[in-house]
Structure formats: C-alpha cells, structure tokens
Amino acid sequence: MQPLTISIIQTNLHWENKTANLVMFEQKIKAIEEPTEIVVLPEMFSTGFSMNNVLLGEAMNGETVTWMKRVAAENKIILTGSVIIKENEHFYNRLIWMLPNGEYGVYDKRHLFGFGNETEHYSPGNKRLIASVKGWKINLQICYDLRFPIWARQNPTDKSEAEYDVLIYVANWPERRSHAWKTLLCARAIENQSYVVGVNRVGDDGNNIYHSGNSMMVDPAGAVLYHKADDEDIFTITLEKETLMEIRNKFPFLKDGDNFYINN
C-alpha cells in the first residue's frame, strides 16, 4: 500500500446544463497543480440534483461518460462522480469510477432521497462498489447513503483484514442539514477506522436550495484533515498507509465487529 493522492472539487453547478458543467470541470481539473491520482466530483456533477431524469438521462455511451473517459485519459487520473444514467428503461443516480485506460466501475445509489422525490424518478442499486488502487481499497457511495451506517459498515470475512481503507461520498447535501453531514462523516470514519472523503457542492440549485459545501477529509480516528464551507475550492491531499495501520494496530476494534448480512 503506497501513498495515495486524492483531489476534490467543491464548486457551484450550472443547473441542468451539461455543456457548461463539463467545460467548467475540465478547466478545474487542468488547474490542479499537484500530481494527483484520483479526482472526485460532486453528486450529479453534470446537471445538479435534478428530478428531470427523462430530459437529462443518458446512456453509458452518452455525453458525460464519454467526457469522463477522455478527461481521465488526458490527465492520467481516476475520475469519479455521479451522473443520471438511463438503462433498460430505468434511471439511476450512478457513480462512475473511470480509470485512465477507459475501464470503469459503477455504483448505483442505494438509498434514494424520498424526501426530495428521488424515489419517484430513480431506481435503487443493490451492490456496493469497492475499488482498488495501489493496494488501497476504496468504498464509493452517494450522498443520502451517509445516513445509513450498515451500508458502509466494515464486515470482512477475515477479521484480521478490513474490507476497505477509504470511504468516499459524493453529494448535493443542503446547508440546512450541514450539521448532520459533518457529524456523520466523522462517525463513519471512526466506526470503520477508515479515511473518509466527502465532496459536496456549493451555491443555490434550481429549486433555490442553498448548499454550503462543507466538503471534508477525515482520518481513521475521526480527526478532520480538511474542511471548507461556502466557497469553491480544489484541495489535494496524500493519504499515508502508516497513519491508517497505526490506528488499526493500536486500536484493533474491527475484529470485534458484528457479522451481518444485508438482504437486498
């Protein structure tokens, strides 16, 4: 497990305007000065958190995924964020994990935000995606998933080894519930002894709901390594395996965890 460098982009979004968002994100990615390996974008980064799925949904060979493939290749990065995908007459809030060689993994948001009518427009996923990079295992989730700890809980078959080392949430989480966002990101880090990365947008969306960002990076003991409220920002950090292993070895709490099964 070598050091792992991650960049996050906290930004306002152009409401339901794919072209403007893709141009904006490409400029921001090119502006990252430090060498980086993973770039994380917010939830529904090309449209904003829209329920206009029929108009905005696209196939896996559509505009946004094609853009991700090109940008990941040109910048030699792993690029991730969620987009509106139509597949087999269903719509998904789908996180894409795009590798620079054009291969990708996907995660469909499991916990749809019924309070915001997401359940009326999208179908839920039922499988987690845990990616592997340089010996690091990375669990990828979306926004409202954060409120459901069992979906993120470490449950390795071999208690001497964790299921994952980094937990990433991409989000459009409104400012009015920012206390929950910040608290739960720290809680997920502590209970899973994992780095946690939460990437949120800023600004008003098309429904006049304000988002304060509050993107965060938290270490496996719950210490906040980065936090930014209200302003647009690009931040890069290198995660060290020594910190992760020191915490897990000194406090071997994961081995005492409950075994459980999630019924889909």
Per-residue pLDDT tens over the stretch 36-51: 999 999 999 999 999 9
pLDDT of 56: 98
Instruction: Report yes or no on 141 lying in a domain.
Output: yes
Q: Hey, what amino acid is at 195? A: Y
Nearest Cα to Cα of residue 141 among 161, 170, 119: 170
Task: Identify the pLDDT of residue 216.
Answer: 98
Catalytic residue among 43, 58, 118, 175: 43
Q: What is the DSSP letter of 222?
A: S
Q: Is residue 218 part of a domain?
A: yes
Residue 260: pLDDT over 90: no
Task: Give me the helices (H) in the chain, please.
Answer: 18-30, 53-56, 63-75, 118-121, 149-152, 178-192, 241-250
Kindly report the CATH number assigned to the domain that includes residue 214: 3.60.110.10
Annotation marks residue 43 as catalytic: yes
Inside any domain, residue 151 = yes
User: Is 44 among the domain residues?
Assistant: yes
At 155-189, the pLDDT tens digits run 877 777 899 999 999 999 999 999 999 999 999 99
* Degrees, nearest 5: CA angle 49-131-197: 50
Q: In this prediction, what percent of the chain has a pLDDT beyond 90?
A: 94
Q: Does the residue 145 lie in any domain? A: yes
- How far is it, in rounded angstroms, from Cα 49 to Cα 14? 11
pLDDT in tens, 109-153: 999 999 999 999 999 999 999 999 999 999 999 999 999 999 999
What is the band of 236 on the pLDDT scale with cuts at 50, 70, 90? very high
Q: Strand 4-10 and strand 38-40: pairing?
A: parallel
Q: What is the mean pLDDT of residues 227-246?
A: 97
Q: Domain count of the chain?
A: 1
- DSSP-derived letter for residue 205 is -
Q: Is 76 a catalytic residue?
A: no
Range of the domain at 88: 4-256
In a domain, 261, yes or no: no
Q: How would residue 218 be classed by pLDDT, with cut points 50, 70 and 90?
A: very high
Within a domain: 264: no
pLDDT tens by residue, 47-80? 999 999 999 999 999 999 999 999 999 999 999 9
% of the chain surpassing 70 pLDDT: 100
Q: Is there a domain that residue 262 lies in?
A: no
Asked whether the predicted pLDDT for residue 203 surpasses 80, the reply is: yes
Task: Answer yes or no: is pLDDT of 233 > 90.
Answer: yes
Please return the burial class of 121, using the count of CB atoms within 10 Å of its CB with bins 0-12, 13-18 and 19+: middle
Catalytic one among 143, 175, 186, 228? 143
Say whether 26 is catalytic. no
What's the mean pLDDT in 184-204?
Answer: 98
- Give, in order, the Cα–Cα distances in Å from 257 to each of 153, 193, 236, 242, 252: 9, 12, 32, 23, 10
> Among the options 18, 37, 58, 109, which is catalytic?
109
